[in-house]
Amino acid sequence: MEVRRASTDAEIAGCFAVMAGLRPDLQEAGFVARVRELAETGYMLAYGLDDARVVVVAGFRMGDSLARGPFLYVDDLVTAPDVRSRGHGAAMLAWLREFARSRGCGRLHLDSGLQRVDAHRFYEREGMRRSAFHFFEPLHPVDTQA
């Protein structure tokens, strides 16, 4: 499998079908524009090809913090359902690790929904470990018209 960074609109659009498996609320019509918008804040998209077909996709960004130092954060990682357990996800993780190392990162981080038990088993098989709980609170935008 060959992993590439998506840089053209056609490459980004080619990732939609696989990404929608993880993010079903995404709309194909606005996908390229949304990825371009996120890229302005450091988001990158990589994809893995098997026989010229996109089979795995990862959205990620570089970060730095007092707690973590330089790190790569994986926002999205998904393999097409019909080719799971064939090494594509592991190959993408290996590519992400090398990308991070080559840019001075000492860690790779990701969050995974509590319901994604199969994904958790995969991450642990790949040498990742659980290290935190992630908490969130929905916030409503402030009305600036008042």
pLDDT of residue 45: 98
Does the model's pTM come out above 0.75?
yes
Residues 59-101 have pLDDT tens digits of: 999 999 999 899 999 999 999 999 999 999 999 999 999 999 9
On the question of pLDDT at 136 being above 90, the answer is: no
113-133 mean pLDDT:
89
pLDDT of residue 107: 95
pLDDT of residue 141: 86
On the question of pLDDT at 143 being above 80, the answer is: no
Specify the CATH number of the domain 2-125. 3.40.630.30
Q: What residues contact residue 61 under an 8 Å CB cut-off, 6+ apart?
A: 41, 42, 43, 44, 72, 73, 75
Q: Is 20 exposed, middle or buried, given 0-12, 13-18 or 19+ CB atoms closer than 10 A?
A: middle
Higher-confidence residue of 143 and 68: namely: 68
Please report which confidence band the pLDDT of residue 145 belongs to, taking 50, 70 and 90 as the band edges.
Answer: confident
- Residues 10 and 113: their CA atoms lie apart, in Å, by 29
> Domain segments of the chain: what residues?
2-125
C-alpha to C-alpha distances, 92 to 3, 35, 101, nearest whole angstrom: 7, 19, 14
